[in-house]
């Protein structure tokens, strides 16, 4: 923002190693707070509820690492399907980039687990220790018995939420209906106890103590977001044209007569901010776009009888009085990339088969002549069984008349197994086939419901 519209804000040198002041957030109400509560409630319901859903006697979402099976709403994925996971991660990254170009750090403000759990922990502070002023007064004074019990209640809620979160998270890797009884009977393995303890302490520490430090110093998103911002990005901003000059006044006073803008300099926007910034100083990387300052400022504007929106979702161009362009090359590029990647992902997912077949020809020896005078080629059949039951597979070869097998052509592939089977194909002496010729391997199962899978290879004989 222009220097003459910043009010009395001045540059300040800050020691990055200096211990930051504790942030005491003030309670507030408003539209965006209600929206965040509904969104956070839905996320909590999805996280804590999905682990308890069963489909066909199997936990709907279970990542069974020992068995190398990943159950996702009735579908089973194996390590060979990790390409799909890569697609999902890339798509998620591009979706985040597209959202950031359009609406800034809205992900951080409404759906980031760090933010969601921090708001829950701040609610626990309020119901146990009181509102902002009471908490500040309590921390400055001596620790009384009443204050000790209130802090004990707060930390008990924090630990309870953290423990429930850790158990649920581990429940996505160990069947949760078995994990809970095992915990109460003290029959949890050492690794289970380790991860439950680790995620309990991680949630307790991040949401209870680190809080804004995670957003400011640990999260990489805060650092590279500026690369994706432009003057058309929707952000939470203070309308300095309308708000300056700041100053207190009576409700009945006419601010124009006193040379003041609509900002009464009450600092409520700073007091509700979970990262402790002053949004009136302009766009800052520390802002997580939670809109707490919007709700707080709108409440003050209502009390003063002023129009809402002194702090609002807007763009730099709008604040400067120019037109905002939501449809722009960068936005179109991200949208096009997302559509292409989503199409490729669903195509790959739809074409995923229960079996994967690969033929590896022996490259150490192109061909050999055996004791019977036959020309022999050696192949390694690699077959991945992605089903939960074994199958007996039969190999057949077509392409050259008289070609025969000198090895068993039937073998069993267990559930989830990557099986290797050596096949020796021989061409009897006297059959006139010179050079290289294409052949086709077909693999079928005794279970007729499975499709026949075919792969091409080559059979090599002497040129002369």
Strand order from edge to edge, sheet including 410-413: 410-413, 391-398, 436-445, 453-460
- Helix, strand or coil, per DSSP, at residue 381: strand
What gap in Å lies between CA 272 and CA 262, rounded to an integer?
19
| 21 Cα distance to chain centroid | 31
User: What is the per-residue pLDDT for 247?
Assistant: 95
User: What is the per-residue pLDDT for 11?
Assistant: 58
- pTM for the whole thing? 0.83
User: What is the per-residue pLDDT for 5?
Assistant: 46
| Distances 196 to 59, 166, 207, 401, 451 between C-alpha atoms, Å | 19, 5, 16, 63, 44
* Nearest to 167, CA basis, from 297, 52, 248, 292: 52
Q: Give the orientation angle of helix 132-140 with respect to helix 113-129, to 10 degrees.
A: 70
* Nearest to 288, CA basis, from 105, 26, 34: 105
User: What is the per-residue pLDDT for 18?
Assistant: 66
User: What is the per-residue pLDDT for 17?
Assistant: 60
Contact 443, 394 (CB under 8 A): yes
Q: What angle do CA 327, 333, 339 make, to 5 degrees?
A: 105
Q: CATH homologous superfamily for 355-460?
A: Immunoglobulins (2.60.40.10)
What gap in Å lies between CA 1 and CA 10, rounded to an integer?
13
Neighbours of 313 (CB within 10 A): 17
- Helix, strand or coil, per DSSP, at residue 320: coil
Q: What is the mean pLDDT of each run of 10 residues along the chain (464 residues)?
A: 47 64 94 96 96 92 89 86 87 90 92 95 96 94 95 98 98 96 92 96 96 89 80 95 94 92 96 96 91 97 96 95 90 92 90 84 86 90 85 89 89 86 88 82 79 86 79
User: What is the per-residue pLDDT for 7?
Assistant: 44
Contact 22, 139 (CB under 8 A): yes
């Amino acid at each position: 923002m222009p220097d003459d519209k910043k009010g009395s804000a001045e540059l300040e040198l800050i020691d990055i190693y200096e211990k930051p002041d504790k942030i005491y957030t003030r309670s507030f109400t408003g539209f965006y707070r209600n929206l965040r509560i509904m969104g956070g409630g839905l996320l909590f319901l999805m996280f804590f509820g999905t682990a308890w859903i069963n489909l066909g006697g199997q936990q709907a979402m279970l990542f069974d690492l020992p068995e190398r099976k990943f159950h996702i709403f009735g579908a089973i994925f194996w390590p060979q399907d990790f390409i799909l996971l890569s697609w999902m991660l890339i798509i998620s990254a591009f979706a985040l980039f597209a959202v950031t170009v359009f609406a800034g750090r809205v992900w951080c403000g409404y759906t980031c687990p760090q933010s969601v759990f921090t708001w829950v922990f701040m609610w626990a502070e309020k119901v146990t220790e009181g509102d902002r002023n009471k908490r500040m007064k309590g921390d400055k004074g001596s620790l009384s018995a009443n204050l000790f019990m209130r802090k004990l209640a707060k930390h008990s809620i924090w630990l309870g939420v953290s423990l429930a979160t850790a158990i649920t998270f581990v429940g996505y890797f160990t069947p949760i209906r078995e994990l809970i009884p095992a915990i109460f009977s003290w029959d949890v393995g050492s690794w289970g106890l380790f991860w439950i303890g680790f995620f309990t302490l991680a949630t307790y520490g991040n949401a209870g103590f680190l809080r804004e430090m995670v957003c400011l110093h640990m999260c990489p998103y805060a650092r590279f977001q500026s690369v994706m911002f432009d003057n058309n990005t929707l952000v939470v901003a203070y309308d300095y044209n309308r708000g300056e000059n700041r100053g207190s006044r009576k409700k009945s006073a006419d601010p124009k007569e006193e040379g003041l803008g609509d900002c009464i300099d009450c600092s409520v926007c700073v007091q509700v901010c979970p990262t402790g910034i002053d949004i009136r100083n302009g766009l800052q990387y520390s802002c997580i776009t939670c809109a707490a300052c919007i709700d707080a400022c709108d409440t003050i504007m209502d009390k003063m009888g002023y129009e809402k929106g002194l702090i609002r979702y807007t763009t730099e161009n709008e604040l400067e009085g120019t037109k905002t362009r939501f449809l722009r090359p960068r936005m179109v590029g991200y949208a096009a990339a997302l559509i292409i990647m989503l199409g490729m992902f669903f195509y790959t997912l739809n074409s995923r088969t229960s079996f994967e077949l690969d033929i590896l020809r022996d490259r150490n020896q192109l061909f050999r002549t055996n004791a019977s005078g036959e020309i022999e080629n050696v192949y390694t059949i690699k077959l991945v069984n992605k089903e939960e039951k074994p199958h007996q597979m039969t190999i057949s070869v077509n392409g050259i008349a008289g070609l025969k097998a000198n090895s068993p052509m039937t073998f069993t592939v267990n559930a989830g197994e990557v099986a290797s089977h050596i096949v020796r194909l021989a061409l009897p002496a006297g059959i006139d086939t010179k050079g290289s010729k294409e052949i086709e391997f077909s693999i079928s199962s005794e279970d007729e419901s499975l499709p026949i899978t075919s792969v091409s290879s080559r059979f090599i004989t002497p040129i002369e």
